[in-house]
Amino acid sequence: MYPLRRNRRLRTNEAIRSLVRETVITPNDFLVPLFVVEGKGIKDEIASMPNYFRYSLDLLEGEIKELWSLGLKSVLLFVKVPDHLKDNKGTEALNPNGLMQRAIKTIKNVCPDMLVMTDVALDPYSSFGHDGIVQNGMIINDESAAVLSQMALTHAQAGADFVAPSDMNDGRTLQIRQLLENEGFKNTGIMSYSAKYASAFYGPFRDALDSAPVDLVDVPKDKKTYQMDCGNRIEAIRETLMDIDEGSDIVMVKPGLSYLDILRDIKNEVDVPVAVYQVSGEYAMIKAAAEKGWLNHDEVMMETTMAFKRAGADIIASYFAKDVVKILNG
């Protein structure tokens, strides 16, 4: 009781604050999302994601070396697919010589120890901008999951360490695990986007990859029939436990900041590592406010990063990873 207990004693200066701080961020916490494009000599800034870039494979090499030198040892790959290669079946997603498959090999060539994770969903490859196959105005579940498992296999064959299904079709994790096992990829891991919400915070990402759902009759305008409803908590736990039963090594909550309660619930519930994704819209929001001088960029960045760790994240996928680590490294 006051005055015997004065909590402010532990806040007197930075030395005591850092001595008693419960949560610590290190470079080991991060998974770095990377956007890859065809071509040569390309480092393209994404309009709605200031200071974030799409790289062609030749320039990706330098970026990988820089990440490694900063202590960032894991990347999550996304590719921008040219329109003429898109269809409704994910044909190009299965091309053993496609951009994703070459990106994996490029990274393993320049930096064999870099952990490579790959996004597994059809949206960048889909002429309709959906994560699965569209039929009669629906995303058909089992057929989509089957194609995604084939897609994941090509990533494993190209050398990916982990595949990350981000589609939210039922049973995709099991189909992927079974195919990987049958084909001898016993050590290829699965990080499932388990509690992935149908969120408006993915907007800038869809600009980056030109992957937004198209506006056509008989094509759903949003992803609400497969991604989760923003109002649900219990369902997030069910989704996550099912993914673990189906073979997920790591589970993920996405987006981050608006779903910290879900992150904590899941952390308390499961015994596998839990990742969180601070998504493109969260990044854009901070960048925009900082550009206007309304928020302090670095302080808000560090505070949100700390919030993920405190809420229970073992892994943080973040477009801020490099900037955070530069601050940590002094």
- List residues near ligand PBG by CB under 6 A: 119, 121, 123, 131, 166-167, 202, 205-206, 223, 279-280
Q: Is the peptide bond before 255 cis (omega within 30 degrees of 0)?
A: yes
- The least distance separating ligand PBG from the CB of residue 97, rounded to whole angstroms, comes to 22
Q: How far is CA 222 from CA 123, 199, 202, in A?
A: 12, 9, 11
Q: Whats the size of the chain, residue-wise?
A: 330
196 part of the active site: yes
3-state secondary structure of 251: strand
Comparison of 202 and 259: residue with beta carbon closer to ligand PBG: 202
- Exactly one of 43, 105, 108, 196 is catalytic; name it: 196
Q: Smallest distance, Å, CB 167 to ligand PBG?
A: 6
Please tell me the distance from the alpha carbon of residue 91 to that of residue 187, in angstroms, as a whole number: 26
Closest CA to 255 of 297, 283, 235: 283
| Shortest-Cβ-distance residue relative to ligand PBG | 205
> By the 8 A CB rule, do 111 and 71 touch?
no
**Annotated binding residues:** 239
CB of 90 to ligand PBG, least distance (A): 12
Residue nearer to ligand PBG on the CB measure, 107 or 279: 279
Nearer to ligand PBG, 111 or 193 (CB): 193
Closest approach of Cβ 279 to ligand PBG, in Å?
4
Which residue, 33 or 312, has its beta carbon nearer to ligand PBG?
A: 33
The span from the CA of 263 to the CA of 195, in Å, is 9
Distance of closest approach, residue 283 Cβ to ligand PBG, in angstroms? 7
Residue ranges at the known binding site for Mg(2+): 239
**What is the token pair recorded at 59?**
């320039």
Taking alpha carbons only, the member of 142, 247, 248, 240 closest to residue 197 is 240
Q: Side-chain half-sphere of 241: how many Cα atoms within 13 Å?
A: 9
Residue whose structure tokens are 């305008």: 221
Element (H, E) at 173: helix 172-182
CB atoms within 10 A of CB 166: 23
Q: Which is nearer to ligand PBG, 77 or 111 (CB)?
A: 77
Catalytic residue among 86, 254, 309, 322: 254
Catalytic residues: 196, 254
